[in-house]
A = this chain, B = another copy of it.
Amino acid sequence: MSGLNALLDLAELPDAQVPQTTLNTARLSLMDWLMCGRAGVDEPVSEILRSMADHEGGAPQSAIFGGGRAPARMAALINGATSHALDYDDTHFAHVGHLSVGIYPAALAVGEAGNLSAEAVCAAFAIGGEAAIRVGLALGRAHYERGFHQTATAGAFGATIAAGRLMGLTRTQMRTAIGLCATRATGLRCQFGTMGKPYNAGIAAAAGVECAQLAKAGITAPDDGLFGQNGYLATHSDAPGDIAMVHDVWLLDEMKYKLHACCHGTHAMIEALKGHDIGSVRALHLRTNPRWLTVCDIKTPRSGLEVKFSYAWLAGMALRGDSTGSDRAYTTSLANDPDLATFAQCVKVSGDSALTDMQAAGEIQMQNGSIQAFAYDMATPIPISDLTISLRSKARALLGPTGDELCDALASLDGKMAHGLAAYLEHRA
Contact surface of A with B, Cβ cutoff 8 Å:
44-45, 48-49, 51-52, 55-59, 61, 71, 73-74, 146-149, 152, 179-180, 182-191, 193-196, 199-200, 203, 210, 213-214, 217-222, 225, 228-232, 234-235
Contacts and interface: CB of A to CB of B under 8 A. Distances in A.
Given A52-B213, A57-B59, A147-B235, A195 B183 contact: no
A230 B188 contact: yes
B183 A203 contact: yes
Nearest to A179: B196
B52 A214 contact: yes
Contacts of A152: 183
19 contacts: A52-B213, A52-B214, A56-B59, A149-B183, A152-B183, A180-B199, A183-B190, A183-B199, A184-B186, A184-B203, A188-B230, A190-B228, A190-B229, A191-B221, A191-B222, A193-B222, A195-B220, A195-B221, A196-B220
A180 to B, nearest CB: 6
Contacts of A225: 188, 190-191, 196
Nearest to A58: B58
Contacts of A49: 214
Contact of A189 (B48, B187, B195, B230): B230
Contacts of A73: 56
Nearest to A59: B57
A194 B199 CA distance: 29
A149, A217, A225, A234 — most chain B CB neighbours (10 Å)? A217
A146 B196 contact: no
Interchain residue pairs A-B with the least CB separation, the first 7: A58-B58, A147-B230, A186-B186, A56-B71, A147-B235, A194-B220, A190-B230
A235 B56 contact: no
A52 B218 CA distance: 11
A195 B219 contact: yes
B219 A199 contact: yes
Contacts of A214: 48-49, 52, 199
Given A57-B57, A57-B71, A147-B235, A183 B187 contact: yes
Given A147-B230, A214-B48, A230-B147, A219 B190 contact: no
Given A44-B219, A55-B71, 9 more contacts: A45-B219, A52-B210, A149-B183, A182-B188, A183-B191, A184-B203, A188-B232, A190-B222, A190-B231
Nearest to A77: B210
Contacts of A45: 219
B196 A221 contact: yes
A194 B188 CA distance: 27
Contacts of A52: 210, 213-214, 217
Given A147-B235, A188-B231, A225-B190, A218 B58 contact: no
A71 B336 CA distance: 49
A222 B235 contact: no
Contacts of A56: 58-59, 61, 71, 73-74
A200 B183 contact: yes
Given A190-B229, A222-B191, A217 B147 contact: no
A168 to B, nearest CB: 16
Nearest to A44: B218
Contacts of A189: 230
Nearest to A48: B217
Nearest to A81: B219
A229 B146 CA distance: 10
A216 to B, nearest CB: 10
A190 B194 contact: no
A374 to B, nearest CB: 35
A58 B59 CA distance: 7
Nearest to A185: B186
Contacts of A61: 56
A190 to B, nearest CB: 4
Given A56-B71, A57-B57, A188-B225, A219 B196 contact: yes
A280 to B, nearest CB: 44
